[in-house]
């Protein structure tokens, strides 16, 4: 896991806070429609890397599935699966 480390100086004592990326807590991620929020596709691999890398990999994977996917990707975003979605996609 990669973490962003932020050092905060409180009362002259340095403190470290670890912030996870938004996708690191999810077992699976997928693409959702921006308007309906419906799950369109589930990425078959475990999300690894930075948030930007994960988004790029998921969109590239979906683009490889179909040439017409490029237009559709403009109306989608990468998001983690809910527990209910995760159970139904195992």
pLDDT digits (tens, 9 = 90+) for 6-39: 555 555 565 655 556 888 888 899 999 999 999 9
pLDDT of residue 29: 95
Q: At residue 5, does pLDDT exceed 80?
A: no
* pTM of the predicted structure, to 2 decimals: 0.73
The two counts, helices (H) then strands (E), for the chain are: 3, 5
What b-and-e string marks burial along 71-85, b requiring 16 or more CB atoms within 10 Å of the CB? eeeeebebbbbeeee
Where residue 68 falls among pLDDT bands split at 50, 70, 90? Answer: confident
Instruction: Give residue limits of the domains in the chain.
Output: 25-88
What mean pLDDT is predicted for residues 40-59? Answer: 92
User: CB-hemisphere CA count at 13 Å for 84?
Assistant: 1
**Average pLDDT of the residues of the chain:** 82
pLDDT of residue 16: 57
């Amino acid at each position: 896991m990669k973490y962003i480390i932020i050092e905060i100086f409180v009362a002259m004592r340095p403190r470290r806070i670890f912030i996870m990326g938004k996708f690191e807590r999810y077992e699976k991620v997928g693409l959702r429609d921006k308007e309906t929020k419906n799950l369109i596709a589930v990425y078959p691999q475990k999300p690894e890397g930075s948030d930007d890398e994960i988004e790029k990999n998921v969109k590239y994977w979906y683009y490889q599935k179909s040439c017409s996917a490029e237009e559709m990707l403009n109306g989608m975003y990468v998001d983690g699966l809910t527990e209910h979605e995760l159970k139904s996609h195992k």
